């Protein structure tokens, strides 16, 4: 008797698999569009943060993208080599500031076209897309709070 016949774990019933598959589908939709502009999907996320929030220290960028600082550094390295961002020191020499270059700012309009193309491919209305995004943000927040509980506390 298989595990599914006994009521065990089923792949298609897993939230994590549905999120994983949806994420992969979205990234695959972005990949060729961003590739034409010289960006990978993770680099696109860095650029989005900079377009929205402006230049910031590397550690703030990492926090904004919910990544470790060691994951940000190679992304910034490649974006800097491509001429989209520049790094500099602040008055606090320990902080490395990442800021858009003119070429990085100019890229925003082109990336916007790619983003709209992917949104269109979802087939979701603006309202449904907004609701889905909010549900995912809420899920992330709930899991983050739950995950922050001490190990010895009952769940």
Domain for residue 153, yes or no?
Answer: no
Q: In total, how many domains does the chain have?
A: 1
In this predicted structure, what is the pLDDT of residue 153?
47
Residue 55 · residue 97 · CB < 8 Å: yes
CA distances from 129 to 57, 96, 123, 126 (A): 31, 35, 9, 5
Does residue 1 surpass a pLDDT of 80?
no
In this predicted structure, what is the pLDDT of residue 154?
46
Report, as an integer, the average pLDDT of 5-21: 88
Phi, psi of 36 (to 5 degrees): -65, -25
Confidence band of 91 (pLDDT split at 50, 70, 90): confident
What CATH number is attached to the domain comprising 81?
Answer: 1.10.10.10
Domain for residue 31, yes or no?
Answer: yes
Domain for residue 126, yes or no?
Answer: no
Domain for residue 86, yes or no?
Answer: yes
Domain for residue 95, yes or no?
Answer: yes
d(CA 93, CA 47) in angstroms, rounded, equals 24
Does residue 89 surpass a pLDDT of 60?
yes
Structure tokens at 77: 């390295």
Report, as an integer, the average pLDDT of 108-127: 96
Determine the structural domain holding residue 107 and report its residue range.
14-121
- pTM of the entire structure? 0.85
Domain for residue 100, yes or no?
Answer: yes
- Complete edge-to-edge strand list for the sheet that includes strand 85-89: 56-57, 96-100, 85-89
First to last CA, the chain: 32
Report, as an integer, the average pLDDT of 70-86: 97
Does residue 26 surpass a pLDDT of 90?
yes
In this predicted structure, what is the pLDDT of residue 4?
52
Domain for residue 68, yes or no?
Answer: yes
Domain for residue 130, yes or no?
Answer: no
In this predicted structure, what is the pLDDT of residue 5?
55
In this predicted structure, what is the pLDDT of residue 2?
57
């Amino acid at each position: 008797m298989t595990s599914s016949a006994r009521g065990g774990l089923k792949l298609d019933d897993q939230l994590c698999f549905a999120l994983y598959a949806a994420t992969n589908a979205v990234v695959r939709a972005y990949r060729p569009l961003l590739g034409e502009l010289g960006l990978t999907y993770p680099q696109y996320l860095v650029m989005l943060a900079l377009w929205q929030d402006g230049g910031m220290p590397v550690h703030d960028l990492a926090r904004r993208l919910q990544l470790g600082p060691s994951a940000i550094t190679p992304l910034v390295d490649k974006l800097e080599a491509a001429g989209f961002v520049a790094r500099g020191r602040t008055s606090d020499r320990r902080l490395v500031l990442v800021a858009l270059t003119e070429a990085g700012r100019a890229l925003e309009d082109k990336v916007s076209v790619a983003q709209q193309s992917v949104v269109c491919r979802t087939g979701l209305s603006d309202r449904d897309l907004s609701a889905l995004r909010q549900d995912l943000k809420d899920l992330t927040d709930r899991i983050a709070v739950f995950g922050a509980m001490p190990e010895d506390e009952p769940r």
